[in-house]
A and B are shown apart, each in its own frame.
Chain A
Amino acid sequence: MGTLASTLALTACATTGSVNASTDNSDSDDEAPRFAAMTPEEGPFASTYSRYPGRPTALVGATVFDGAGGRLEGGTVLFRDGEVVAIGGSDLSTEGYDVFDASGKFVTPGIIDIHSHLGDYPTPSVDAHNDGNEATSPTTPEVWAEHSVWPQDPGFSRALANGGITSLQILPGSANLMGGRSVTLKNVPSRTVQGMKFPGAPYGFKMACGENPKRVYGGRGRAPSTRMGNFAVNRQTWFDAIDYANNDSADRDLGMETLVGVLEGDILVHNHCYRADEMALVMDMAKEMGYRVTAFHHAVEAYKIGDLLRENGVCSAIWADWYGFKMEAYDGILENAALLQQAGACVVIHSDSENDIQRLNQEAAKAQAAGLRLGIDLSDADVISWITLNAAKAMGIDDMTGSLEPGKMADVVLWNGDPLSVYSRPERVWVDGALLYDANDRSRRPVSDFELGQPGEGDVK
C-alpha cells in the first residue's frame, strides 16, 4: 500500500508539476524527482474508518423527525448494511429486519455538532491538553486540527450517550485570525483519529474576527491589536494566497495550500464572529478575495443582519442563550435563531462546549420556545433540522448524513421521548447502522482508555 501510494504520488507530481522539483534545467521534463511527498489531492492522513457490523433494524411506531423538516407519526424507519433503506408508515414491510417497537418514542437522524473542540481541548482540561490554539502567529492556516485530536477524550462518549451526537466538526480555537483546518469526525471510538475521520467530508477552515486575535497578539505588542489590524492582516494574507495560487513555481507552502483550497471552494470557511457589523465586513472581504464564508460561528448578533446573511447564503451557527461573558457577546438574545429563521437565513445550533454538546436538542428547544413567544412559527421538525441537516449542509456532508433518507448513512437516534423536552434522553444510538450506545445495555457504553481503572469507570455519566 505504501509503495503504491508513493508511486501514485510520483505520477501526480510529474503530470501536474505542482511540486517544485528542480526541473528547470533538466534535459528531460518527464524525469521523476528523487523525493516527493504525497500531494494534497492524495489526501494524507486519510480516513481509515469503516462501519461496524449492525443488524438490519426496523424501528416501528415512533414519531419520526427526518431532519429535513418532515414529521411522521407512527412511522417506520428501516436501515441495513449501514444505510437508511426506507421511512414510511406502518404499511412498510419489516420482513428481514429486527423489529423494535418504538411506539411512544421518537426517532431523529444522528445529531451533528458543527462546533466542537473535543479531542483538541480534551478532558481532563490540564495544560498538557491545550492543543486547540497554535497561538504563535495570528495566521496559522498551516495547522490541521486533526493533528491535535486525542481520540481518548472521554467527552466523545458523553456526546454520544447523552447527546446522540454521531458526527461533529473539530475546529482549532479562535486565538488566531486564521486558526487552521478543521476535521469532521464520526463519533466512533477509535485508537486513532484516522479511525474517526468522516470519509469524504470536506475540510473546514477556521477563521476568527473580533476580540480574541487582537487581544492575543496586541497583548504581545504585535499586529493585530485592533479590529482594523485584524482586517489588514487577513487581507494581506489573502493577497499572498492569490499570488501563490497564480504562481506555478512557488515552493510548497502548507498554509497557502489550505488558503488556495478555500479559494477553490474545496475547503469551507467557518468564521468565529460575534458582531453584526463585523460579519458584514467579513462578507465583503470574502467578495474582495473571491471566497465564500460557509458559516459564522457564535454569531450572537446575527439576528441584526438576517437579511444580509440570507442574501449571502451564509449560515449562522449559534448558541441558544449564551450572552454577556465578553463585550462582543453583550447583545446576545434568546430569539437569535428564530429571528434568523424568520428572515429566511440558515440556522445551526452549535455547542462549543464539552457539556452543551450533550444537550444540543435542549438548546434548540430553548431557541424554539423564544421564537414561538415572538409569534414566529417554528415546527418541531424544522427545529430538529437546526441540529441535523442544516449542520450537515454547512459541513458539506449533507449528501451522506443529516437526514433519514434512503441511501444515506444510518446515523440514527432513538429517543425515549420528545427530543425537544428536557425529560428525554437517547435510548439507542446507531452510527452507520451499528449500535454504539444502548441505555439498557451496559456493554454498549464506550469507556475511553483514560477512564479505565479510575473511580466511576463504566458508570452512567
Chain B
Amino acid sequence: MKRLLTLAASAIALSAVPAAAQDVAITNATVALGDGSEPIKNATVIVRDGKVVAAGADITTPADIPAIDANDAWVTPGLFATVTTFGLSDVGAVSQSNDTRAGGSPFSAALNTAPIVNPNSQHILIHRAAGITRAATSTMPSGSIFAGQGAIIDLDGDSNPVMRERAFQMVHLGEGGARLSGGSRASAHVLFRAALREAQALSGARGTPQTTEISGGDDVLLGRFDAEALVPVVTGQQPLYVAVERASDIRAVLAMREDFPRLDMVLIGAGEGWLVADSIAAAGVPVIADALDDLPESFEVLAATQSNIGRMVHAGVQVAISANSGNNPRNMSQAAGNLVALNRIPGAAGLSWGQAFAAVSSVPAAISGYDGKAGVLTPGAMGDVVIWDGDPLEVGSVPTMVFISGVEQSLESHQSRLRERYRDLDESNLPKAYDW
C-alpha cells in the first residue's frame, strides 16, 4: 500500500505536462483575504478560469463548480516572497550550482535574472509546498554596488517561471556597498550618482552620454551596458531596490530623490527604519524589512529591534516582511507570527494578525507590481489559493493543497521523497536504495 502511494506521488512529481486550471469552490473555510483584514469564519473562495471570482462569507457556490469542503481549515492566498534567489542556486556553498553572485563579472546593473531561473530547483518545490506561490528573485550585489535586474516569478514549476523580467534593479548603499565600491560610503555615493547621471544622459533627458567605464583595480564597477541598464531606473520605469540599514543612510538615500526625482524607490533592510519612520512614510517609499533582527550585527544596525516593522507600519510606512527573515524563505510566515506575538509585550510594537499576514502576501505583491493581483483573494486576483492544516502563521502549519492560477500543485520534492524512504529503517529484504 505504501509502495502504491509512493508511486502515485512520484508520478505527480515527475509530470512535466502543465495541468489545466480547474474551477474550484472551497467552502466552510476560515479565510484570510490577505488584504490586511482579519480572518473570516465559515467563508468560501471561488476560483474560475484561474482567477478568484469571490471570497468571503455569504457566498453562494455555483452549481457547476466542484466544491472542496475545507472542514474549517484555513484558506489563504498564496504567499509572496521578496527578495529571494529562487531558481538561481541549488546549494548555496556549491559554487558550481550557485548563480546568485557574479563577483568576477565585468557586468553589474546589466545582469538579468530572468533567463537563468530554473523552475525545477528544489528550493522552488520546497517553498511551493510551504505555500509560497510567487516571488521576486534576483542576483545579489557582488562585483559592484548594483546587483542587476531581478524578475518576478511564479512557483508552478512549468517551463515558464518568469512573470516579469527586468522587474526591478537593486543597489547596495550601506556598509556592503561601501566595501564593494572601494572601501567607503563616499565612494558608493559617487559611483551611484555618476551611474544615474550617465543613465540620465543616455535617456536623452539631461547631459551628454560619455563612454562609461568606471573601474577599481581589475574590477569594472560600471560599464556601458550597466549604464544603459540604468536608464529605466532613472526614468522611473523600473523600481530601484536600495539596500540600506542605518538611519543616516536611509535619510541620505531618501534625499537623492531631489537630484533624481523620478526614482521609484523601495528600501531593503532598513534595520534602523523605525528611527526615521516618519521620513520614510512622508516619502511614500515602501520597505522590505527583516522581521526579527534585534541584534547589533553591524554598526549600521545598532538600533535593531523586532519592533522595527511594527513601528514603521504604525507610522504609515508600507512594509513587507523580507523572505530573508529566517534561515530560509519558508520561515517568513513564522516571522509574521512573531510580530503578532509582540503585541503582548509591553513597549513593543507588533502587527495585527491581518497586517502580519498581509506583510507576507499582498504587501510584497503590491511592492512587486501586483497590487490587487497577487497575495489577495479579491475578485480578479490570480487564483493562487492555499489550504492549510492550521493557522498559517503558526509554527508547524503547512499547506495541504496549493493552487497556482487555479492549478493544483504537487507538494512533492527531494525532501518529501527522503521522508517517505526513511519512515522506517527496515532493510530486511533489500537496501533502502530500492525503496522509491
Q: Is the CB of B296 within 8 A of A454?
A: yes
The residues of B that contact A330 with a CB separation of less than 8 Å are: 91, 414
Find A460's partner among B293, B345, B397 (CB 8 Å cutoff): B345
Q: Which residue of A lies closest to B335 (CB)?
A: A422
Give the total number of A-B pairs whose CB atoms are below 8 A apart.
Answer: 160
Question: In chain A, residues 294-349, which have Cβ atoms closer than 8 Å to a Cβ of chain B?
Answer: 303-307, 319, 321-327, 329-335, 339, 343
Contact with B along A422-442 (1 / 0, CB 8 A): 111100000000000001101
Q: Is the CB of B91 within 8 A of A456?
A: no
Please tell me the number of chain A residues within 8 Å of chain B, measured between CB atoms: 65
Q: Which residue of A lies closest to B304 (CB)?
A: A456
Interface of B is mostly: loop
Contact with B along A111-138 (1 / 0, CB 8 A): 0000000000001111000000000000
Question: In chain B, residues 366-403, which have Cβ atoms closer than 8 Å to a Cβ of chain A?
Answer: 389-390, 393-398
The residues of B that contact A354 with a CB separation of less than 8 Å are: 295
From known contacts A154-B295, A326-B91, A333-B415, infer whether A439 and B425 are also in contact, taking CB-CB under 8 Å.
Answer: no
Within the assembled complex, what's the spacing in Å between the Cα atoms of A339 and B297? 35
The residues of B that contact A355 with a CB separation of less than 8 Å are: 292-293, 295
Interface of A is mostly: loop
From known contacts A331-B418, A423-B337, A461-B305, infer whether A158 and B93 are also in contact, taking CB-CB under 8 Å.
Answer: no
Chain A CB within 8 A of B211 CB: no
Within the assembled complex, what's the spacing in Å between the Cα atoms of A368 and B390? 14
The residues of A that contact B418 with a CB separation of less than 8 Å are: 331, 333
The residues of A that contact B292 with a CB separation of less than 8 Å are: 355, 358-359
Q: Which residue of A lies closest to B344 (CB)?
A: A416
From known contacts A303-B422, A365-B395, A460-B345, infer whether A422 and B93 are also in contact, taking CB-CB under 8 Å.
Answer: no
Within the assembled complex, what's the spacing in Å between the Cα atoms of A326 and B90? 9
Within the assembled complex, what's the spacing in Å between the Cα atoms of A411 and B115? 55
Chain A CB within 8 A of B307 CB: yes
Within the assembled complex, what's the spacing in Å between the Cα atoms of A124 and B297? 4
Minimum distance in angstroms from B394 CB to a CB of chain A:
5
Contact with B along A131-168 (1 / 0, CB 8 A): 00000000000000000000000110010001000000
The residues of A that contact B337 with a CB separation of less than 8 Å are: 422-423
Q: Is the CB of B398 within 8 A of A373?
A: yes
Within the assembled complex, what's the spacing in Å between the Cα atoms of A442 and B345? 11
From known contacts A355-B292, A422-B393, infer whether A460 and B347 are also in contact, taking CB-CB under 8 Å.
Answer: yes
Chain A CB within 8 A of B57 CB: no
Chain A CB within 8 A of B331 CB: yes
Chain B CB within 8 A of A421 CB: yes
Find B334's partner among A329, A374, A422 (CB 8 Å cutoff): A422
Chain A CB within 8 A of B275 CB: yes
Q: What are 24 inter-chain pairs, A to B, with CB distance below 8 A?
A: A124-B296, A125-B297, A126-B299, A323-B126, A324-B92, A326-B94, A327-B91, A355-B292, A365-B395, A369-B397, A422-B334, A422-B394, A423-B341, A424-B341, A425-B344, A454-B302, A455-B247, A455-B303, A456-B304, A460-B305, A460-B307, A460-B347, A461-B294, A461-B304
Which are the 6 A-B pairs with shortest beta-carbon distances?
A369-B396, A422-B337, A456-B303, A326-B93, A455-B303, A461-B294
